[in-house]
Amino acid sequence: MEASELQQNIARVAEIGPIKVWSVVVTVLGDLLQAPADTLSARQLDALVAPMGINNQALRVAVHRLRNDGWIETHREGRRSRHQLTAKGWAETERVRPHVYGEAPTRSGGVFLIVGPPQMAAPEFAELMPEDGTVLTSRSGLVVGAEGVPSNWLCTPYNEASPPDWVQDALSPKDISSEYDALREVVMPLLKAELPEDLVARTALRLAILHHWRRLRLRHGALPDLVLKDGWAGARCRDVVLDALSRFERPALSSLE
Amino acid sequence: MEASELQQNIARVAEIGPIKVWSVVVTVLGDLLQAPADTLSARQLDALVAPMGINNQALRVAVHRLRNDGWIETHREGRRSRHQLTAKGWAETERVRPHVYGEAPTRSGGVFLIVGPPQMAAPEFAELMPEDGTVLTSRSGLVVGAEGVPSNWLCTPYNEASPPDWVQDALSPKDISSEYDALREVVMPLLKAELPEDLVARTALRLAILHHWRRLRLRHGALPDLVLKDGWAGARCRDVVLDALSRFERPALSSLE
């Protein structure tokens, strides 16, 4: 892959969906800082996000915001700055790591079909729905695990090999599915392309892919994987993204300096 | 049990719910005619239903109606008449026999929780619901067996040891439950009372009990028994009724003449 071609590829990946700069920073630090004490220099961060079209000014604003939110802290070393995750940032990064990098759904406990009482209003049902649940009709839904389901709701283990189309649509909303498909389309040819020589550029490609994958993956829980198995866009995209992440592998922090 | 006491008991049983004379006749013939060729004389039929407060005129009307419906046929033997079930009457009697006399739910195939598509109107859902199913909310319900469930409905095996109150209420409507309880209340003391000597009167008591049991039992399918197990009025009543039916046993037809 030539430098200009690589740059085009990174831009192509970056464009598959909306990019929030602070969220890209979270992706980058979460990927590269593998221990609580790890740090990344401000200059390297800049070099890694620039290929995605993020300029230095936008990056400063994002870093400032993340510092205010207590997510990262920045230490000065002479004229240089180094970023580090705070305890909170580290904990949150650890929490989502299995969802982002995992091969399979990370929640167990089984899928349950739940039904709320007939006199309950639909908005109330949706509000009381456990996190990670998906509303199917005004008073029914699917959840992972039975904890958190109100005790006066009907709750039975869900076991259906081929759910009807409308259930698939509820679990795999069209906007998420089409972004997963777009990401897969852009990443697939990269798996067979020549490996980029420049380490920073190669890592920037990795991070662009990872960022969109992470952004999409964190918009849903384990339900679509558990219910739709390999038959949905997110699962098809996962295969390609995990291949790409092992091809454009995470560099040792020291090798980036 | 003295004759007057017995008469009071029969009347007490008869009064636990509304009585349709033609339906009583169906109960009596269905119980006593145990083979397609069996017959019952009109005079015996009269003697068996009279203690329930059914006069000869009402009985004639009911028998006429059942003959018109092709349920029974009546043969004359000199000045006497004998009733017999038609092929249709026999088939229908056979069909419900396991429900009426059975100890346990007669349908297998398991219970399924079903959910209709969110865009389906509630009345349409109720209409497309398989027979013997119970609607829970506007687009969800329980059914026995998955046959007959429209293919685009969600359908998963139901498995919940302690369903919430509103599910119990849906499966065991208050009017049916309170009639089951009333029947049980009236029949229970009879199990310990002295056995009536007169065979016709004893059989009339049997038939009064059986009639209300049959009337209630045919108002619902296997669902309440399968889902609520022993925990509902119908199951509690069944224990008492089946005891009573074996105590006030079915007489041989010949012994009634």
pLDDT for res B160:
83
A211: pLDDT strictly greater than 70: yes
| Average of per-residue pLDDT values in chain B | 93
Residue of A nearest to B164 (CA): A152
> Contacts of residue B167 in chain A, CB cutoff 8 Å?
154
Same domain, A218 and A252: yes
pLDDT for res A245:
96
Whole-angstrom Cα distance, residue A233 to residue A225?
10
State how far Cα B238 lies from the chain centre: 11
> Contacts of residue A111 in chain B, CB cutoff 8 Å?
none
pLDDT for res B132:
84
Q: For chain A, give percent helix, strand, coil, nearest 5.
A: 55, 10, 35
- B163 part of a folded domain: no
Whole-angstrom Cα distance, residue A65 to residue B167?
50
Same domain, A87 and A115: no
CA dist A20 → A9, A31, A66, B127 (Å):
19, 17, 12, 50
B232: pLDDT strictly greater than 70: yes
pLDDT in tens, B151-179: 999 999 998 888 999 999 999 989 999 99
Whole-angstrom Cα distance, residue A83 to residue A210?
20
Question: Domain tally for chain B?
Answer: 2
CB B71 within 8 A of CB B89: yes
Residue among B120, B156, B168 with most chain A CBs within 10 A, to mutate: B156
Question: Which residue from A118, A137, A153 is facing B118, i.e. has the nearest CB?
Answer: A137
- A164 part of a folded domain: no
Whole-angstrom Cα distance, residue A27 to residue A204?
11
pLDDT for res A196:
85
- A186 part of a folded domain: yes
Q: CA of A145, closest CA in chain B: separation in Å?
A: 14
Q: What is the DSSP string of A84-119?
A: EE-HHHHHHHHHHHHHHH-SS----S-EEEEE--TT
pLDDT for res B108:
67
Same domain, A88 and A195: yes
pLDDT bin (cut points 50, 70, 90) of residue A107 is low
Same domain, B36 and B151: no
Question: What is the rounded average pLDDT of the residues B39-67?
Answer: 95
CA dist A125 → A118, A142, A151, A152, B170 (Å):
10, 12, 13, 12, 19
| Average of per-residue pLDDT values in chain A | 93
CB A201 within 8 A of CB A6: yes
Q: Comparing C-alpha atoms, which of A65, A125, A138 is closest to residue B119? A: A138
Whether residue A156 and residue B113 make contact (CB cut-off 8 A), yes or no, is: yes
> Contacts of residue B140 in chain A, CB cutoff 8 Å?
115, 137, 139-140
pLDDT bin (cut points 50, 70, 90) of residue A188 is very high
Whether residue B159 and residue A160 make contact (CB cut-off 8 A), yes or no, is: no
Question: What is the rounded average pLDDT of the residues A60-66?
Answer: 96
Q: CA of B179, closest CA in chain A: separation in Å?
A: 25
State how far Cα B142 lies from the chain centre: 22
Place of tokens 């992706």: A27
| Helix pair angle (B21-32, B87-101), 10° resolution | 80
Same domain, B118 and B86: no
Same domain, B96 and B117: no
Whole-angstrom Cα distance, residue B96 to residue B91?
9
Instruction: Write down how long chain A is.
Output: 257
Place of tokens 């009071």: B8
A257: pLDDT strictly greater than 80: no
pLDDT bin (cut points 50, 70, 90) of residue B246 is very high
The answer to whether A162 faces chain B, any CB pair under 8 Å, is no
The answer to whether A155 faces chain B, any CB pair under 8 Å, is yes
Whether residue A137 and residue B117 make contact (CB cut-off 8 A), yes or no, is: yes
Same domain, A237 and A216: yes
pLDDT for res B106:
59
**Residues of B (21-60) whose Cβ lies below 8 Å from A:** none
B195: pLDDT strictly greater than 90: no
- B205 part of a folded domain: yes
pLDDT bin (cut points 50, 70, 90) of residue B128 is very high
A128: pLDDT strictly greater than 70: yes
Percent of chain B surpassing pLDDT 70: 99
Question: What is the rounded average pLDDT of the residues B200-226?
Answer: 94
Question: Which ranges of chain B does DSSP label H, i.e. alpha helix?
Answer: 3-14, 21-32, 42-49, 56-68, 87-101, 122-128, 165-171, 174-187, 199-217, 223-228, 233-247, 253-256
Whether residue A138 and residue B136 make contact (CB cut-off 8 A), yes or no, is: no
Whole-angstrom Cα distance, residue A231 to residue A215?
20
Q: Comparing C-alpha atoms, which of B81, B16, B59, B40 is closest to residue B203? A: B40
Q: Is B201 exposed, middle or buried (0-12, 13-18, 19+ CB in 10 A)?
A: buried
Least confident of A17-26, A101-110, A132-141: A101-110
Question: Which residue from B118, B154, B160 is facing A155, i.e. has the nearest CB?
Answer: B160
Question: Which residue from B118, B153, B160 is facing A154, i.e. has the nearest CB?
Answer: B160
Q: A221 lies in which domain range?
A: 3-100+171-256
In the 8-state DSSP scheme, what is residue B130? P
B257: pLDDT strictly greater than 80: no
pLDDT for res A106:
59
Q: Is B155 exposed, middle or buried (0-12, 13-18, 19+ CB in 10 A)?
A: buried
CATH number at residue A79: 1.10.10.10
Least confident of A54-58, A137-141, A191-195: A191-195
Whether residue B166 and residue A152 make contact (CB cut-off 8 A), yes or no, is: yes
Q: Comparing C-alpha atoms, which of A4, A28, A26, A19 is closest to residue A203? A: A28
User: Kindly report the CA angle at A180 between A174 and A186, in degrees rounded to 5?
Assistant: 135
Q: Comparing C-alpha atoms, which of B250, B235, B244, B219 is closest to residue B103? A: B235
Q: What are phi and psi of B64, to 5 degrees?
A: -60, -45
Q: What are phi and psi of B216, to 5 degrees?
A: -70, -45
Residue of B nearest to A118 (CA): B137
Residue of B nearest to A155 (CA): B160
- A162 part of a folded domain: no
Question: Which residue from B138, B160, B165 is facing A152, i.e. has the nearest CB?
Answer: B165
Same domain, A135 and A209: no
Same domain, A143 and A208: no
Residue of A nearest to B135 (CA): A118
**Residues of A (103-132) whose Cβ lies below 8 Å from B:** 113, 115-119
Whole-angstrom Cα distance, residue A209 to residue A206?
5
Same domain, B63 and B82: yes
CATH number at residue B151: 3.30.70
- B208 part of a folded domain: yes
The answer to whether B158 faces chain A, any CB pair under 8 Å, is yes
pLDDT bin (cut points 50, 70, 90) of residue A108 is low
The answer to whether B156 faces chain A, any CB pair under 8 Å, is yes
CA dist B87 → A219, B66, B91, B101 (Å):
64, 13, 6, 21
Same domain, A68 and A20: yes
- A83 part of a folded domain: yes
Same domain, A58 and A24: yes
- A64 part of a folded domain: yes
Whether residue B151 and residue A164 make contact (CB cut-off 8 A), yes or no, is: yes
Q: Comparing C-alpha atoms, which of A248, A186, A141 is closest to residue A15? A: A186
Q: Comparing C-alpha atoms, which of A119, A118, A144, A139 is closest to residue A128? A: A139
Question: What is the rounded average pLDDT of the residues B17-41?
Answer: 95
